Chain A
Amino acid sequence: MDAVTQLQRQLVDYTNSLFLEGFLDDQFNQLQQLQDESNPDFVVEVVSLFFQDSERLLNELAKVLEQQNIDFKKVDAHVHQLKGSSSSIGAQRVQRVCITFRNCCEEKNIEGCLKYLQQLRHEYSLVKNKLETLFKLEQQLLAAGGTIPLY
């Protein structure tokens, strides 16, 4: 097998694993579909936006939860935002944590919220790493002269 095919194989396997492990869902595929000649870096752009936005939100959440009087409405708002963003790009696990986080907010469960914030951070960094690796692989493939497989 030549280098291009090998890289392609690697990419495909990696992407498959992400899906299998639940890091990404079908929405990510939808994003990939929106990428074409007129919009060649759509996915990367949106995902970068997500990274920025998520980090901001997580920081905000941390700040709010450190307060004495926790404004649960605010927390809920942020989590809602994060849920929306993650569902938009298909970060499935993040989204799920957001949903359960929101329940805690409604219950005004501080511990629960803190726990979920922790989990959220964890999931976020995981998915961030995975996505960054994915993009790197894609770059390598393109550099080697191959095309990104659509499947």
Chain B
Amino acid sequence: MESCNCIEPQWPADELLMKYQYISDFFIALAYFSIPLELIYFVKKSAVFPYRWVLVQFGAFIVLCGATHLINLWTFSMHSRTVAVVMTTAKVLTAVVSCATALMLVHIIPDLLSVKTRELFLKNKAAELDREMGLIRTQEETGRHVRMLTHEIRSTLDRHTILKTTLIELGRTLALEECALWMPTRTGLELQLSYTLRQQNPVGYTVPIQLPVINQVFSSNRALKISPNCPVARLRPLQGKYMAGEVVAVRVPLLHLSNFQINDWPELSTKRYALMVLMLPSDSARQWHVHQLELVEVVADQVAVALSHAAILEESMRARDLLMEQNIALDLARREAETAIRARNDFLAVMNHEMRTPMHAIIALSSLLQETELTPEQRLMVETILKSSNLLATLINDVLDLSRLEDGSLQLELVTFNLHAVFSEVLNLIKPIASVKKLMITLNLAPDLPEYAVGDEKRLMQTLLNVVGNAVKFSKEGCVSITAFVAKSESLRDSRAPDFFPVPSENHFYLRVQVKDSGIGINSQDIPKLFTKFAQNQALSTRNSGSGLGLAICKRFVNLMEGHIWIESEGLGKGCTATFIVKLGIPEQSNESKLSFGPKMSGHGPTNFPGLKVLVMDDNGISRSVTKGLLVHLGCDVMTVSSSEECLRVVSQEHKVVFMDVCMPGIDGFDVAVHIHEKFTRRHERPLIVALTGNGDKVNKENCMRVGMDGVILKPVSLEKMRSVLLDLLEHRVLFEAM
């Protein structure tokens, strides 16, 4: 026993040690058995544990370990072989399971560890999301603030309210100490303090606009931090003890109306800006956050828009007020003008009547006076009176006509008339003067000139008479030639009349009349003055009477007839040519028969009696021819007879007038008249009877009247006389005097 060195001597089992081992093994077994139970319990509780079978494995391992330790309890004392076998089996099993578990854990633990990392990652992510949520919330709040601010700003169109509200709301939202708005002055060189938040009535501080800090702010559309010491920020004495709050300034563009174009939204190329300055409370150590700066920028833009709206509205209100004022003024002016025109027209109407009545009296009585017995001196005086009063009458007419022409109240009277007759009438009127002056007048009417035309006959004649009269007036000798033809379109356009655009049409033609004289001519520089009112050639105005209105009136008439009139002259002493073109209508064929004797009675111009059936009784062949010629010229349908028997045989209801020569010896015209009366008992069936006689004394006349003649004409009969006789006869059905 003492000799064995390799192993310790077998010592008898110590009672104490054995006891402690026994107890520890027991507890270990207990623990080992309870751990799987706990695991199962908790795994059952949790739903997500992925590795169940690992748990089973682990459980098995622990149970077996526990079993091993439990079986160990029996190995402390003497034990049988069965226990040893069981113990060995348990140990073997435990070994297997534990090895398996160990191997398994090698795979599983990294997984479990990564779960942990994932968890950490998720936590970080959650934290990030939280942060972002916070940010979004702040932004949303900012947006809400802006919307509210905008709403406040845009709910009014009054500029002051807009600005005041902006400052108040900004002040409230951002908890500012002071907020101010600087507007550019009219000159644009300075910024003036216009609105502040805290101060009620800002005193008009101004700062020059060219400060570097201001330029800096104006050149950027962001809100920039500026120093609290710069002039725009030093609004009031420092409130806080230590440090002034941070100041931010932003530009507010003042958009001008013209910046708003429909298709282009304007770049901010406006020159004018206002400056908004915002100050955080001093001593607060607050900082401007980015989202607050963004809020300020947005607000500034909104303010700009609101201001422009307000400006536009102001502008349009102003424009509307201006327009209303102008409307009222215009209305007043128009009414005044109308009153003036009415007053003038009334005046003219009165003067027309008032002036003409005495003129009539003077002219009529002077004419009558002329017919009486007068000494040569008296005759001269009366003639002078007559001439002067005729002149005056013409003057009055001219002036009245011209004033009516000027205000456009003159309208052409369109009638169908005999164009050829107009020319011959004018000729008749001008012949006496021309023959006195020994001037030759030629009339050339083109063969294609229509005989009848539609237009204002009276005024055409007036124009023609004026032009021809001027030609005669200003010619001392030589000849005056009048040509009239239908103007073709090429000849209508004249370089001398650049704004005359004739438009030939179906129912109209252009009459071109040219009057050429060999008189004193006109200087080329005087030509433009010819048609102006009251302007007369100096050299002539003394010698010639007239108001200088004639050509002016002619021009107006010609213009009314859609034509043109002009005068050419090669110079003094070389005569001149007056030309006018007027537009006349072409009468329809059926209209020609409308030239009845009815409505034409009032006119005294070339009148005709187309188709008027008359009977001429005269035994003298020549007289008969001449009378027939006269009547045919007037358009009548003439039948001639040379004896009373023939007359009585032929006369019928169709004949409207019977002209009979009562100086026929042997054949009594008076008898014929009596017979005619007997033949036609009813008045309207009977033709009118007119006596032609060379004997003008009263007895003869009375005899004619006694036998029931309707009129007496003294031979020789002129065309005019015949015409007026027929006119009178047919109008009045009786003619007392035609001598």
Interface string of B435-459 (1 = CB under 8 A from A): 1001111111000000000000000
Do residues A34 and B621 form an inter-chain contact, with CB atoms below 8 A? Answer: no
B440 to chain A, nearest CB (A): 5
Q: Is B188 an interface residue (CB 8 A)?
A: no
**Is A50 in contact with chain B by the CB < 8 A criterion?**
yes
Q: B629 near A: Cβ within 8 Å?
A: yes
Chain A 11-39 per-residue mask, 1 if CB under 8 angstroms from chain B, else 0: 01000100000000011001101101011
Among A63-71, A84-92, A112-120, the stretch in contact with B: A84-92
A49 to chain B, nearest CB (A): 5
Report whether B633 and A39 are in contact in the complex, using a CB–CB cutoff of 8 Å: yes
Q: Which of B72-80, B94-102, B380-388, B711-719 contacts A (4 or more CB under 8 A)?
A: B711-719
* Cβ–Cβ contact A87 & B440, under 8 A: no
User: Is there an interface contact between A88 and B442, defined as CB atoms closer than 8 Å?
Assistant: no
Complex partner residue of B629 from A26, A46, A90, CB under 8 angstroms? A46
Contact B629 A77 (CB under 8 A): no
Task: Flag B404-435 by CB within 8 Å of A: 1 or 0 each.
Answer: 00000000000000001000100110010011
A149-B440, A150-B442, A151-B439 known; A49-B622 Cβ under 8 A: yes
**Residues of B in contact, count (CB < 8 Å):** 36
* CB <8 Å contact, B622 and A34: no
Q: From residue A62, how far is it (CB to closest CB) to chain B in Å? A: 20
Contact of B716 among A30, A36, A39, A76 (CB under 8 A): A30
| Contact A34 B633, CB 8 Å, known A77-B665, A150-B443, A151-B440 | yes
**Contact between chains at A33 and B719 (CB < 8 Å):** yes
Option from A33, A50, A76, A147 in Cβ contact (under 8 Å) with B622:
A50
Q: Are A30 and B718 in contact (CB under 8 A)?
A: yes
Number of interface residues of A (CB under 8 A): 36
Q: What 0/1 pattern do residues 45 to 60 of A give for CB contact below 8 A with B?
A: 1100110010000000
Minimum distance in angstroms from A92 CB to a CB of chain B = 11
CB nearest neighbor in B for A73? B665
Q: How far is the CA of A85 from the CA of B665 in the complex (A)?
A: 15
Tell me the B693-717 residues at the A interface (CB within 8 Å). Answer: 694, 715-717
CA distance A12 to B479 in the complex (A): 11
- Greatest chain B CB density within 10 A among A38, A39, A53, A88 is at A88
Residues in A lying within 8 Å of B, measured CB to CB: 5, 8-9, 12, 16, 26-27, 30-31, 33-34, 36, 38-39, 42, 45-46, 49-50, 53, 73, 76-77, 80-81, 83-85, 87-90, 147, 149-151
11 more A-B contacts (CB under 8 A) besides A77-B666, A85-B620, A89-B626? A8-B479, A26-B718, A34-B630, A34-B633, A36-B420, A42-B629, A88-B623, A88-B716, A147-B444, A149-B441, A150-B427
Nearest-Cβ distance from residue B159 to partner chain A, whole angstroms = 87
> Contacts A53-B622, A85-B622 known; A151 to B665 CB distance under 8 Å?
no
Q: Check if A27 sits within 8 Å of B716, measured CB to CB.
A: yes
Q: How far is the CB of B257 from chain A (nearest CB, A)?
A: 76
- Name the residue of chain B whose CB is nearest to the CB of A12: B440
- Measured between beta carbons, the chain B residues less than 8 angstroms from A30 are 630, 716-719
A102 to chain B, nearest CB (A): 11
A87-B694, A90-B716 given as contacts; is B622 within 8 A of A9 (CB)? no
- Verify B442–A147 contact, CB threshold 8 A: yes
Docked complex Cα distance between A151 and B478 (Å): 13
B632 interfacial contact with A, CB 8 Å? yes
Complex interface: chain A residues within 8 A of B620 (CB) = 53, 81, 84-85, 88
Nearest residue in B to A89 (C-beta to C-beta)? B622
Q: A66 to B435: give the CA distance in the assembly, Å.
A: 46
Q: Nearest residue in A to B447 (C-beta to C-beta)?
A: A37
Q: For B443, what are the chain A residues with a Cβ–Cβ distance below 8 Å? A: 147, 150
Specify which of B443, B479, B621 lies most central, judged by the most chain A CB atoms within 10 Å of its CB. Answer: B621
Q: How far is the CB of A148 from chain B (nearest CB, A)?
A: 8
Which of A34, A39, A50, A87 is close to B715, meaning CB atoms less than 8 Å apart? A87
A149, B479: Cβ atoms closer than 8 Å = yes
Task: Give Cα A34–Cα B719 distance, bound, in whole angstroms.
Answer: 8
- Interchain residue pairs with CB less than 8 A apart (23): A8-B442, A8-B479, A9-B440, A27-B718, A30-B630, A30-B717, A30-B718, A30-B719, A33-B633, A34-B719, A45-B625, A46-B622, A49-B625, A50-B622, A53-B622, A85-B620, A87-B694, A87-B715, A88-B620, A89-B626, A147-B444, A149-B440, A149-B441
CA of A81 to CA of B623 in the docked complex: distance in angstroms? 9
Q: How far is the CA of A73 from the CA of B666 in the complex (A)?
A: 10
How far is B424's CA from A90's CA once the two chains are assembled, in angstroms?
21
**Closest 8 pairs (CB-CB, A-B):** A85-B622, A84-B620, A88-B626, A34-B629, A88-B623, A27-B716, A34-B633, A88-B622
Answer whether residue B399 sits at the interface, using C-beta atoms and an 8 A cutoff.
no
Contact with A along B446-479 (1 / 0, CB 8 A): 0000000000000000000000000000000001
- Residue B663 at the chain A interface, CB threshold 8 Å: yes
| Interchain nearest-CB distance for A47 vs B (Å) | 9
Q: Give the CA-CA distance A50 to B718 in the complex, in Å.
A: 18
B440 touches A49 (CB 8 A): no
Once the chains bind, are B715 and A85 in contact (CB under 8 Å)?
A: no
CB distance from B521 to the nearest CB of A (A): 18
In the assembled complex, how far is the CB of residue A7 from the closest CB belonging to chain B, in whole angstroms?
Answer: 12
B440 contacts which of A8, A27, A38 (Cβ < 8 Å)? Answer: A8
CA–CA, A33 and B434, complex, Å: 16
| Chain B residues whose CB sits within 8 angstroms of the CB of A81 once the complex forms | 619-620
A105 to B492, CA, bound (A): 67
